[in-house]
Amino acid sequence: MTALEPSACYRAVQTRDARFDGRFFTAVRTTRIYCRPICPARTPRFENCTFFPSAAGAQEAGYRPCLRCRPETSPDLAFWRGTSNTVARALALIAEGGMDDEGAGVTELADRLGVGDRQLRRLFQQHLGASPVAVAQTRRVLFARQLLHETSLPMAEVALAAGFRSVRRFNAVFRALHGRAPSELRRSKAPAGTAATGVTLFIPYHPPYDWESMRAHLEARALPGLEHVEAGRYRRTVAHARGAGSVEVAPAPRRAGLRVTLRLPDVQALPMVVAQVRRVFDVGADVDAIGAHLSRDPRLAPLVARRPGLRAPGGWDGFELAVRAVLGQQVTVTAARGLGARLVAEYGEPALTEATGHPLLLRTFPRPERLVHEDLRRLGMPAARAKTLSSLAAAAVADPRLFQPGASLEEAIARFKRIPGIGDWTAQYIALRAVREPDAFPSADVALLRALEDDHGVRPTPEALLRRSEAWSPWRAYAAQHLWAADAARAQAPSPTKDTHAPAAATAH
């Protein structure tokens, strides 16, 4: 289904086809409720149904979310992804609170994306059936509903966490939308907890999901003191202006999603940290659509079939990911991890065990302000690489939005390459992992070239690989992930002896 064709949508509703969960929502005119395609309620009559590409579209049209299928727990999918990068970048900014601050509106959002506000509104209506303001408000309301259902946070904390300025405004919005107070939506069996002592949330994804590949990627790069992977669980510290916290992520038992436990010093940090978890674990990827597109290439088809749920891991923080990328230039993953561990131990802020809840989570990643004037050569790296890190820290201090989505992939690459010491490979890698550009592709990467050797052991040139990758657009980042996985598997080791993310030729740094 490439568009919202009503008869196709209705067939999916009749069969409760889970493949379409998150791709559209069904609004019922007689009940004024909107549902997921898998809702267990009795199937409404076709003539009473209206289909929306997003929950925001249904909500803006005056429908309220179903209490049985809970639209807030739907996978974050959309059939249009890959066709409107502007909307995808806008949604990423909104998810990170881009319209939550006072004065932040559609005009500012459009300016950051390099388009006019009228064009942005038109694109949102075309692809989501809702305005950017409605999308931002729906995000807040649905997140609040999730907190009400899954936690026992006090109402005041739920309101603050969801971005409402006051409990009064929170109550008013819920009464207008649901016809009842927020407290009436709360489930008494929700586990006890606060943001400081720990709250647990469910983050859904559309299966399949290759958890083992994701876990292995994170474990191979985990920095001692900052991260810890154990028994299939990923833990790390979280930095905040009011102190350190932590996050723990593991597969949810018998459910298509992740179980995330957060311990944070400020409840208002919850939506931002949840957005970071979603980015790192790539839960919004439409692996069916991506796999079908990449499988058109006969070399990629068997790789996709071997790992149908493979995701492209993201970076927890843009600056942190960029530093890791620079540390990993032309060295092994193990060597880069050692440098990163020394960096965290020397310059990271201490984190108390009472705050993180785990004795091995000891420090947060150093902020750019901490590194900008330091002589990083003392960590045992070449002078040129230390200078690149200092330039990177200075650029991050000067532009707090340096690692946020912009007008285009090309604009992001150019922005990073203006930093002294950052070449094309590093810029593409940062765009892939930190900015979450699905078409980023470091064509000079030695492992990508090695994975496409022919039967005689001849590798393509970076230029030839770049030309070939054009057919994989707009999902070249996922093609790279499949090729990296294939190269690592061929080496028959979790971490290849050579860096799987090193440029094939010398770059500017």
Can 9 be counted among the known catalytic residues?
no
Asked whether the beta carbons of 83 and 286 are under 8 A apart, the reply is no
CA distance 95 to 278: 10
CA atoms within 13 A of residue 53's CA, in its CB half-sphere: 19
* Residue 237 token pair: 């510290």
Q: What contacts 136, CB < 8 A, 6 or more positions away? A: 94, 99, 100
Cα angle 165, 167, 271 (rounded to 5 degrees) comes to 55
3-state secondary structure of 234: strand
Q: How many CB atoms lie within 10 A of CB 250?
A: 16
Strands laid side by side in the 227-230 sheet: 199-204, 257-263, 243-251, 233-240, 227-230
CA distance 245 to 237: 6
CA distance 358 to 274: 19
Peptide bond into 208 cis (omega under 30): yes
* Radius of gyration of the chain, Cα coordinates, nearest whole angstrom: 23
Asked whether the beta carbons of 198 and 262 are under 8 A apart, the reply is yes
CA distance 278 to 314: 9
Asked whether the beta carbons of 319 and 398 are under 8 A apart, the reply is no
Can 111 be counted among the known catalytic residues?
no
Beta bridge partners of 257: 204
For tokens 């309301």, the residue is 141
Residue 379's closest CA among 350, 420, 338, 318? 338
Helix (H), strand (E) at residue 204:
strand 199-204
Q: For residue 497, what pLDDT is reported? A: 40
Type of residue found at 24? F
Asked whether the beta carbons of 420 and 387 are under 8 A apart, the reply is yes
Type of residue found at 66? C
Residue 31's closest CA among 54, 8, 50? 50
Beta bridge partners of 503: 445
Q: Digits of tens for pLDDT over the chain (509 positions)?
A: 446 899 999 999 999 999 899 999 999 999 999 999 999 999 999 999 999 999 999 999 999 999 899 999 999 887 667 668 899 899 999 988 878 765 568 999 999 999 999 999 999 999 999 999 999 989 999 999 999 999 989 999 999 999 888 899 999 988 888 778 888 877 655 555 666 678 999 999 999 999 999 999 999 999 999 999 998 899 999 998 888 999 999 999 999 999 999 999 999 999 999 999 999 999 999 999 999 999 999 999 999 999 999 999 999 999 999 999 999 887 888 999 999 999 999 999 999 899 999 999 999 999 999 999 999 999 999 999 999 999 999 999 999 999 999 989 999 999 999 999 999 999 999 999 999 999 999 999 999 999 999 888 899 999 999 999 999 999 999 999 999 999 998 876 444 444 445 454 433 33
CA distance 157 to 266: 9
* Residue 94 token pair: 């909104």
Helical ranges in 442-498 per DSSP H: 446-451, 462-469, 476-490
Q: Measured between alpha carbons, how far is residue 446 from residues 130, 158, 221, 328, 498 in Å?
A: 44, 48, 19, 13, 9
Helical ranges in 39-164 per DSSP H: 55-60, 85-95, 106-113, 117-128, 132-150, 155-161
**For 252-363, where are the E strands, in sequence order?**
257-263
Peptide bond into 132 cis (omega under 30): no
Catalytic member of 210, 282, 286, 445? 445
Residue 203's closest CA among 265, 136, 271, 140? 271
| CA 375 from centroid of its chain's CA atoms | 33
CA distance 334 to 331: 8
Catalytic member of 35, 39, 49, 66? 35
Asked whether the beta carbons of 443 and 465 are under 8 A apart, the reply is yes
CA distance 438 to 445: 17
Helical ranges in 151-243 per DSSP H: 155-161, 167-178, 211-221
